[in-house]
Amino acid sequence: MNPPQRNIAAYYDAFYRDGDFPHYSPAVTRSVLAALSRKIGLPPGARVLDVGCATGYYSAAFSELGYDVTGIDISTTAIETARQRHPQLRFMQGDALASLPEGTRFDLVFAFGFSPANTEDLEQVRETLRQLAGHLRPGGTLAFLGGSRLTGSVTPSSDWHNHRWKDITGFAPATLRVTGGPWLTHFRCLHLLPLSFSLSAPLTHLLRWLPLPFERRIVLLLRATPSA
Protein backbone atom coordinates (compact mmCIF):
# COMPACT_ATOMS: atom_id res chain seq x y z
CA MET A 1 0.00 0.00 0.00
CA ASN A 2 1.52 3.37 -0.93
CA PRO A 3 1.27 6.30 1.54
CA PRO A 4 -1.77 8.14 0.06
CA GLN A 5 -3.73 4.90 0.06
CA ARG A 6 -2.71 4.26 3.66
CA ASN A 7 -4.08 7.73 4.51
CA ILE A 8 -7.33 7.01 2.70
CA ALA A 9 -7.68 3.67 4.47
CA ALA A 10 -6.98 5.28 7.87
CA TYR A 11 -9.41 8.11 7.11
CA TYR A 12 -12.22 5.71 6.18
CA ASP A 13 -11.45 3.32 9.03
CA ALA A 14 -12.08 6.19 11.45
CA PHE A 15 -15.12 7.35 9.45
CA TYR A 16 -16.84 3.94 9.55
CA ARG A 17 -15.95 3.41 13.22
CA ASP A 18 -18.07 6.49 14.00
CA GLY A 19 -20.90 6.00 11.51
CA ASP A 20 -21.81 5.55 7.86
CA PHE A 21 -23.04 7.45 4.80
CA PRO A 22 -26.66 8.64 4.90
CA HIS A 23 -27.89 6.21 2.28
CA TYR A 24 -31.18 6.40 0.43
CA SER A 25 -34.06 4.25 1.54
CA PRO A 26 -33.64 0.62 0.43
CA ALA A 27 -36.78 0.88 -1.75
CA VAL A 28 -35.41 3.92 -3.61
CA THR A 29 -32.02 2.28 -3.98
CA ARG A 30 -33.62 -0.84 -5.45
CA SER A 31 -35.47 1.25 -8.02
CA VAL A 32 -32.31 3.27 -8.78
CA LEU A 33 -30.21 0.17 -9.37
CA ALA A 34 -32.97 -1.62 -11.27
CA ALA A 35 -33.26 1.39 -13.62
CA LEU A 36 -29.50 1.47 -14.06
CA SER A 37 -29.38 -2.28 -14.78
CA ARG A 38 -32.16 -1.91 -17.37
CA LYS A 39 -30.31 0.92 -19.10
CA ILE A 40 -27.19 -1.25 -19.27
CA GLY A 41 -29.11 -4.40 -20.25
CA LEU A 42 -27.56 -6.40 -17.40
CA PRO A 43 -28.86 -10.00 -17.53
CA PRO A 44 -29.97 -11.84 -14.34
CA GLY A 45 -27.04 -13.45 -12.53
CA ALA A 46 -24.49 -11.10 -14.12
CA ARG A 47 -21.26 -10.49 -12.21
CA VAL A 48 -21.01 -7.10 -10.52
CA LEU A 49 -17.93 -5.58 -8.87
CA ASP A 50 -18.76 -2.88 -6.31
CA VAL A 51 -15.52 -0.87 -5.96
CA GLY A 52 -15.23 1.19 -2.79
CA CYS A 53 -18.17 -0.84 -1.48
CA ALA A 54 -17.98 0.69 2.03
CA THR A 55 -20.25 -1.21 4.43
CA GLY A 56 -21.95 -3.13 1.63
CA TYR A 57 -25.11 -1.09 1.10
CA TYR A 58 -25.07 -1.15 -2.73
CA SER A 59 -23.61 -4.67 -2.85
CA ALA A 60 -26.59 -5.96 -0.84
CA ALA A 61 -29.04 -4.11 -3.10
CA PHE A 62 -27.46 -5.63 -6.24
CA SER A 63 -27.60 -9.07 -4.65
CA GLU A 64 -31.32 -8.62 -3.88
CA LEU A 65 -31.85 -7.82 -7.56
CA GLY A 66 -30.34 -11.22 -8.43
CA TYR A 67 -26.78 -10.26 -9.38
CA ASP A 68 -23.60 -12.05 -8.35
CA VAL A 69 -21.76 -9.32 -6.43
CA THR A 70 -18.23 -8.89 -5.12
CA GLY A 71 -17.57 -5.85 -2.94
CA ILE A 72 -14.07 -4.50 -2.39
CA ASP A 73 -12.92 -1.70 -0.12
CA ILE A 74 -9.57 -0.52 1.18
CA SER A 75 -10.97 0.13 4.68
CA THR A 76 -10.68 -2.82 7.06
CA THR A 77 -13.45 -1.40 9.27
CA ALA A 78 -15.78 -1.06 6.27
CA ILE A 79 -15.24 -4.66 5.24
CA GLU A 80 -15.62 -6.01 8.78
CA THR A 81 -18.94 -4.15 9.05
CA ALA A 82 -20.03 -5.28 5.58
CA ARG A 83 -19.34 -8.92 6.51
CA GLN A 84 -21.28 -8.61 9.78
CA ARG A 85 -24.26 -7.00 8.06
CA HIS A 86 -24.31 -9.25 5.00
CA PRO A 87 -22.61 -12.55 5.91
CA GLN A 88 -23.97 -14.24 2.78
CA LEU A 89 -22.13 -11.85 0.42
CA ARG A 90 -18.55 -11.84 -0.92
CA PHE A 91 -16.34 -8.97 0.28
CA MET A 92 -12.62 -8.35 -0.14
CA GLN A 93 -10.45 -5.91 1.79
CA GLY A 94 -7.80 -4.25 -0.36
CA ASP A 95 -6.90 -1.67 -2.98
CA ALA A 96 -9.31 -2.21 -5.86
CA LEU A 97 -6.62 -0.96 -8.25
CA ALA A 98 -4.04 -3.51 -7.13
CA SER A 99 -5.55 -6.45 -5.21
CA LEU A 100 -7.90 -8.11 -7.66
CA PRO A 101 -6.46 -11.24 -9.20
CA GLU A 102 -5.34 -10.80 -12.83
CA GLY A 103 -8.07 -11.95 -15.20
CA THR A 104 -10.98 -11.37 -12.78
CA ARG A 105 -13.72 -9.99 -15.02
CA PHE A 106 -17.18 -8.56 -14.44
CA ASP A 107 -20.22 -7.53 -16.47
CA LEU A 108 -20.57 -4.35 -14.43
CA VAL A 109 -17.96 -2.45 -12.47
CA PHE A 110 -19.90 -0.11 -10.21
CA ALA A 111 -17.76 2.84 -9.08
CA PHE A 112 -20.02 5.13 -7.07
CA GLY A 113 -18.02 7.71 -5.13
CA PHE A 114 -14.84 5.63 -5.61
CA SER A 115 -12.17 7.96 -4.17
CA PRO A 116 -9.39 7.52 -6.80
CA ALA A 117 -11.87 8.38 -9.59
CA ASN A 118 -13.63 11.13 -7.66
CA THR A 119 -10.98 13.81 -7.79
CA GLU A 120 -10.16 17.13 -9.40
CA ASP A 121 -7.24 15.60 -11.32
CA LEU A 122 -8.58 14.66 -14.76
CA GLU A 123 -5.61 12.47 -15.64
CA GLN A 124 -6.07 10.51 -12.44
CA VAL A 125 -9.78 10.05 -13.18
CA ARG A 126 -8.97 8.70 -16.67
CA GLU A 127 -6.19 6.44 -15.42
CA THR A 128 -8.36 5.03 -12.60
CA LEU A 129 -11.22 4.31 -15.00
CA ARG A 130 -8.78 2.69 -17.44
CA GLN A 131 -7.48 0.40 -14.68
CA LEU A 132 -11.00 -0.53 -13.55
CA ALA A 133 -11.92 -1.29 -17.16
CA GLY A 134 -9.24 -4.00 -17.07
CA HIS A 135 -11.74 -5.99 -14.97
CA LEU A 136 -14.58 -5.75 -17.49
CA ARG A 137 -15.69 -8.61 -19.67
CA PRO A 138 -15.79 -7.66 -23.37
CA GLY A 139 -18.85 -5.44 -23.73
CA GLY A 140 -19.04 -4.95 -19.95
CA THR A 141 -20.00 -1.59 -18.44
CA LEU A 142 -18.33 0.71 -15.95
CA ALA A 143 -20.86 2.84 -14.06
CA PHE A 144 -19.26 5.99 -12.65
CA LEU A 145 -20.78 8.38 -10.17
CA GLY A 146 -18.78 11.37 -8.99
CA GLY A 147 -19.44 14.84 -7.72
CA SER A 148 -18.87 18.30 -9.18
CA ARG A 149 -20.06 21.85 -8.71
CA LEU A 150 -19.30 22.43 -12.43
CA THR A 151 -17.68 25.80 -11.75
CA GLY A 152 -14.33 25.07 -13.37
CA SER A 153 -12.57 27.15 -10.75
CA VAL A 154 -10.26 25.46 -8.33
CA THR A 155 -9.16 27.38 -5.27
CA PRO A 156 -6.77 26.25 -2.56
CA SER A 157 -9.73 26.04 -0.19
CA SER A 158 -11.87 23.95 -2.56
CA ASP A 159 -13.35 21.12 -0.59
CA TRP A 160 -15.13 19.63 -3.57
CA HIS A 161 -14.63 18.99 -7.28
CA ASN A 162 -15.20 21.71 -9.82
CA HIS A 163 -14.92 20.07 -13.21
CA ARG A 164 -16.22 21.87 -16.25
CA TRP A 165 -18.85 20.13 -18.39
CA LYS A 166 -16.36 19.43 -21.17
CA ASP A 167 -14.00 17.86 -18.61
CA ILE A 168 -16.72 15.46 -17.54
CA THR A 169 -17.42 14.28 -21.06
CA GLY A 170 -13.66 13.67 -21.31
CA PHE A 171 -13.48 11.35 -18.28
CA ALA A 172 -13.58 8.27 -20.51
CA PRO A 173 -10.17 6.80 -21.33
CA ALA A 174 -9.51 5.54 -24.88
CA THR A 175 -10.44 1.96 -23.93
CA LEU A 176 -14.02 2.95 -23.08
CA ARG A 177 -16.84 4.65 -24.91
CA VAL A 178 -19.60 6.66 -23.31
CA THR A 179 -22.89 4.80 -23.70
CA GLY A 180 -24.98 6.67 -21.15
CA GLY A 181 -24.88 10.18 -19.77
CA PRO A 182 -23.34 12.25 -18.55
CA TRP A 183 -26.43 12.80 -16.47
CA LEU A 184 -26.57 15.13 -13.56
CA THR A 185 -28.57 14.64 -10.48
CA HIS A 186 -28.42 15.90 -6.97
CA PHE A 187 -27.64 13.57 -4.13
CA ARG A 188 -30.75 14.58 -2.22
CA CYS A 189 -32.99 14.29 -5.30
CA LEU A 190 -32.35 10.58 -5.33
CA HIS A 191 -34.22 10.35 -2.05
CA LEU A 192 -37.30 11.52 -3.90
CA LEU A 193 -36.98 10.56 -7.53
CA PRO A 194 -36.47 7.24 -9.24
CA LEU A 195 -33.25 7.14 -11.25
CA SER A 196 -35.22 6.63 -14.44
CA PHE A 197 -36.30 10.24 -13.98
CA SER A 198 -33.02 11.50 -12.54
CA LEU A 199 -31.06 10.07 -15.46
CA SER A 200 -32.84 12.15 -18.02
CA ALA A 201 -31.81 14.93 -20.34
CA PRO A 202 -34.34 17.51 -19.03
CA LEU A 203 -33.24 17.15 -15.42
CA THR A 204 -29.59 17.17 -16.47
CA HIS A 205 -30.07 20.47 -18.28
CA LEU A 206 -32.00 21.98 -15.40
CA LEU A 207 -29.33 21.04 -12.88
CA ARG A 208 -26.57 22.11 -15.21
CA TRP A 209 -27.81 25.65 -15.65
CA LEU A 210 -29.43 26.38 -12.30
CA PRO A 211 -26.94 28.48 -10.33
CA LEU A 212 -27.10 26.18 -7.34
CA PRO A 213 -24.22 26.45 -4.90
CA PHE A 214 -24.15 22.78 -3.97
CA GLU A 215 -22.49 19.96 -5.81
CA ARG A 216 -24.17 17.93 -8.50
CA ARG A 217 -23.67 14.21 -8.89
CA ILE A 218 -22.54 13.04 -12.29
CA VAL A 219 -23.42 9.63 -13.63
CA LEU A 220 -21.63 8.22 -16.67
CA LEU A 221 -21.94 4.78 -18.24
CA LEU A 222 -18.86 3.59 -20.09
CA ARG A 223 -18.65 0.40 -22.13
CA ALA A 224 -15.47 -1.53 -22.84
CA THR A 225 -14.64 -1.22 -26.53
CA PRO A 226 -14.25 -4.57 -28.35
CA SER A 227 -10.47 -4.21 -28.59
CA ALA A 228 -10.08 -3.34 -24.88
Binding site for ligand SAM (CB under 6 A): 5, 8, 12, 21, 52, 54, 72-75, 78, 95-97, 112-116
- Shortest Å distance, C-beta 1 to ligand SAM: 9
Under 8 Å CB-to-CB from 223, ≥6 apart: which residues? 139, 140, 141, 142, 176, 177, 179
Q: Which of 76, 32, 31 is nearest to 55 (CA)?
A: 76
Q: Which residue number has the CB closest to ligand SAM?
A: 52
Give the whole-angstrom CA distance, residue 21 versus residue 15.
9
Q: Based on CB atoms, which residue is closest to ligand SAM, 43 or 124?
A: 124
Single-letter residue type at 214: F
- Shortest Å distance, C-beta 205 to ligand SAM: 25
**DSSP character for 113?**
S
- Specify the pairing of strand 90-93 against strand 68-73: parallel
Largest separation between any pair of C-alpha atoms in the chain: 46
Q: Based on CB atoms, which residue is closest to ligand SAM, 116 or 181?
A: 116
- Shortest Å distance, C-beta 112 to ligand SAM: 4
- Shortest Å distance, C-beta 137 to ligand SAM: 20
The helix (run of H) or strand (run of E) holding residue 137 is strand 136-148
Q: Based on CB atoms, which residue is closest to ligand SAM, 58 or 204?
A: 58
- Shortest Å distance, C-beta 111 to ligand SAM: 8
Give the whole-angstrom CA distance, residue 129 versus residue 119.
12
Q: Based on CB atoms, which residue is closest to ligand SAM, 113 or 225?
A: 113
Q: Based on CB atoms, which residue is closest to ligand SAM, 104 or 206?
A: 104
Q: Based on CB atoms, which residue is closest to ligand SAM, 54 or 150?
A: 54
> For the purposes of burial, counting CB atoms within 10 Å of the CB of 192, is it exposed (0-12), middle (13-18) or buried (19 or more)?
exposed
- Shortest Å distance, C-beta 145 to ligand SAM: 7
CB 117 within 8 A of CB 132: yes
